[in-house]
Structure 1
Amino acid sequence: MMHLQLIGLAAAIAVVSRLLSHPVPLDCSWQTRWHRALTAFVVPPLLLLATAVSIITMGADSAYLWEGRLSFALSTGFLALAGGLWAYLVWLALKTQRELQRYPVQSIQTGAATVTGRVMDVPAVFSAQVGLWSSDLIVSQGLLGHLDEAHLAAVFAHEAGHAHYRDTFWFFWLGGLRRLTCWLPYTEDLWQELLLLREVRADQWAARSVDTLVLAESLLSVITAPLMTTEAICAGFSCAAPHSRLAQRVDALLADRPDRASDKLGSPWQWTAIALALTPLLAIPFHH
């Protein structure tokens, strides 16, 4: 019975923590919004996964045969679902990368700098980083003909921000958590918030090397429908967040004192919350 109660307690904590952490305050800094949204999104699924792992490791509760088997079956099913989901996403990512490899790698001149990327011979205006840990720059011929060199440099600086933060890799795993726990409250709202903040962070990275006004003009110029059907390994300049949030990105760029994104992985309270989510694993050594 103890294991079944542990599952119920973990699910209740996951739901309540989501309810208490949403909505993310909009009057704080972009960096604080990022940490709060990421913590609210990641901690509940981690608690559920850690609980499932601990129950499977401890085995079925022999004192309560029926309840022990039920809790073991629920935990096994949840982890099997998670493993199957990420296996599917890996297959989808590899398939997408193979399809993109048929496009040639070209050197693109943007003023004084030269950028290397794969060019898709399509008229749509599009650019993105696609891949996992090591992502490739993918641009369309339509983008190259749509923008001049200065605005192209701004777009490529934004994409360099995605590459610097390894956004395609981290959002691959976050996207899996999104699908795995879509039944939790506010999963989709937090996901859209993270996509927006990811783009703001890449904008702010680009603003270190290009003019913010030029970057804002580029953003306004290339709003278009995405070409990529999978967002798991794609970080695009204009299509990752809903168009209704365009104003927030432009405002962040044109702010008198832009809140620059830092390279810190997280704040102390964020790591504390993650550590608390993993506490079910501590019960394993004390199980009899």
Structure 2
Amino acid sequence: MITAAVLAALATACALGSWRFTTARWTSRAPRLAIIVWQSLGVAWGLATTGAMLAYAVLPYNVGVLPGLIAFARGRTPAEAWDPWHVLAMIAGLTSLAVLVVVLLTAGVQALRARRRHRVLLALISRDDPGVPGVRVLDHPSAAAYCVPGLRSQVVVSAGALELLSPDEMAAVLAHEAAHVRERHDLVLLPFAALRRALPWSKVVADAQAQVELLIEMAADDRARRYCSPRRLATALLRFGTAGAMPTPQGMLGVHAHNVMARVDRLIKPGPELSAFVRYGYLALSVSLLTTTPFLWVYQL
């Protein structure tokens, strides 16, 4: 019973922490760290929520969640008699776990299919340009720049973007898109998109997804600024924002007009870095969340 209570308390703490974290002001100063915290909160919340129900369900076995589920699957007789509440908890816990897994797999499969279709389409309507080697160019008047993530990643720009941006600005945009590809930001977004599908009514989940989308853009900006002038990237973002950029295809990562000024401000006037104490504190919190919850699945308190 203690394990179930601790997991329930941890799930509640993660939910409240996520709600407070959506309004945190330091995240733009350390976007990669903030992404790690968001990921740890999401994983811990999912495992703790389902684990609390399953821990109560397997109480008659007097073992941890995972050993109890294995014993249940093998048809072993529990040490204590089942009651209706244990049965309901088992049904609710397994259903919740199945929904989370199925939604995650479905989101992944749909993303892979969308990218596969888009690669086929690009092979038909895009072209190479000696001015931007290694990049596919779409003959479209609107400004667009995005990447198709995956094992065969591609960076795509439109003819309108080539006309809109100077060579230095285009180099900055391409460095930004290369950062998305290199750091696999599509995999960062996937669990949050899946959770949004599972809980479409949750404002906290919607806010979390929106914040992570902004944070990966800021993280890509930070990596791009190693290879280009931050001001060139900022002016490129402003041009995209004022020119009415073409919407990024579904499942891709690209330059768009959302939150442009927040990104431009931090590029031109970057805030002070977080202190080492704060950084290590949040890292320790993330590690604690990612280790405590699996521990509670295996061992009974």
Q: For this structure pair, what is the TM-score category when the shorter chain's length is used for normalisation?
A: 0.7 to 0.9
The residue aligned with 1:208 is: 226
- Contact 2:104/2:195, CA 8 A, preserved across alignment: no
* Structure 1 position 202, deviation (Å): 0.7
Identify the match of residue 265 of structure 2 among 248, 251, 255. 251
Question: Partners of 2:267 and 2:212 in 1: how far apart?
Answer: 17
The residue aligned with 1:275 is: 291
For the residue of structure 2 that corresponds to 1:139, the secondary structure is strand
Q: Is the deviation greater in 129-138 or in 186-195?
A: 129-138
* Structure 1 position 74, deviation (Å): 1.1
| Residue 217 of structure 2 corresponds to residue 220 of structure 1 | no
* Structure 1 position 156, deviation (Å): 0.3
Identify the match of residue 97 of structure 1 among 105, 115, 134. 115
Aligned pairs, number: 272
* Structure 1 position 206, deviation (Å): 0.9
User: Where does 1:72-87 land on structure 2 (aligned, <5 Å)?
Assistant: 72-87=90-105
Post-superposition Cα deviations, 1:155-199, rounded to whole Å, max 9, x if no partner, equal 101101111211112222332234334555622222222211111
Identity %: 21
Post-superposition Cα deviations, 1:46-85, rounded to whole Å, max 9, x if no partner, equal 4235555746445397623322221121122112212321
Which TM-score applies when normalising by structure 1? 0.77
- Contact 2:169/2:233, CA 8 A, preserved across alignment: yes
- Contact 1:29/1:259, CA 8 A, preserved across alignment: yes
The residue aligned with 1:12 is: 12
Relative to structure 1, the CA distance from residue 122 to residue 84 in structure 2 (aligned partners, 3 Å threshold; closer, same or farther) is farther
Counterpart of 1:48 in structure 2: which amino acid?
A: T
Question: Partners of 2:110 and 2:288 in 1: how far apart?
Answer: 33
Question: Partners of 1:275 and 1:252 in 2: how far apart?
Answer: 33
Question: Partners of 2:27 and 2:221 in 1: how far apart?
Answer: 19
Post-superposition Cα deviations, 1:73-118, rounded to whole Å, max 9, x if no partner, equal 11221122123212322332222122222313644445xxx54133
Counterpart of 1:187 in structure 2: which amino acid?
A: V
Relative to structure 1, the CA distance from residue 89 to residue 20 in structure 2 (aligned partners, 3 Å threshold; closer, same or farther) is closer
For the residue of structure 2 that corresponds to 1:222, the secondary structure is helix
* Structure 1 position 252, deviation (Å): 1.2
Question: Partners of 2:201 and 2:294 in 1: how far apart?
Answer: 21
Query: Gaps spanning 5+ residues in structure 2: where?
Result: 55-64
Relative to structure 1, the CA distance from residue 255 to residue 189 in structure 2 (aligned partners, 3 Å threshold; closer, same or farther) is same
Counterpart of 1:30 in structure 2: which amino acid?
A: A
- Contact 2:40/2:290, CA 8 A, preserved across alignment: yes
Relative to structure 1, the CA distance from residue 38 to residue 9 in structure 2 (aligned partners, 3 Å threshold; closer, same or farther) is closer
Relative to structure 1, the CA distance from residue 115 to residue 258 in structure 2 (aligned partners, 3 Å threshold; closer, same or farther) is farther
Counterpart of 1:253 in structure 2: which amino acid?
A: L
The residue aligned with 2:44 is: 43
Relative to structure 1, the CA distance from residue 256 to residue 189 in structure 2 (aligned partners, 3 Å threshold; closer, same or farther) is closer
- Contact 1:4/1:67, CA 8 A, preserved across alignment: no
CA RMSD for the aligned pairs?
3.5
Counterpart of 1:147 in structure 2: which amino acid?
A: L
Question: Partners of 1:211 and 1:5 in 2: how far apart?
Answer: 52
Relative to structure 1, the CA distance from residue 129 to residue 28 in structure 2 (aligned partners, 3 Å threshold; closer, same or farther) is closer
- Contact 2:195/2:205, CA 8 A, preserved across alignment: no
Higher helix share: 2
Post-superposition Cα deviations, 1:118-171, rounded to whole Å, max 9, x if no partner, equal 333433321112234553213233323332322211110110111121111222
The residue aligned with 1:66 is: 84
Relative to structure 1, the CA distance from residue 274 to residue 185 in structure 2 (aligned partners, 3 Å threshold; closer, same or farther) is farther
The residue aligned with 1:25 is: 25
The residue aligned with 1:155 is: 173
For the residue of structure 2 that corresponds to 1:119, the secondary structure is strand
Query: Gaps spanning 5+ residues in structure 1: where?
Result: none
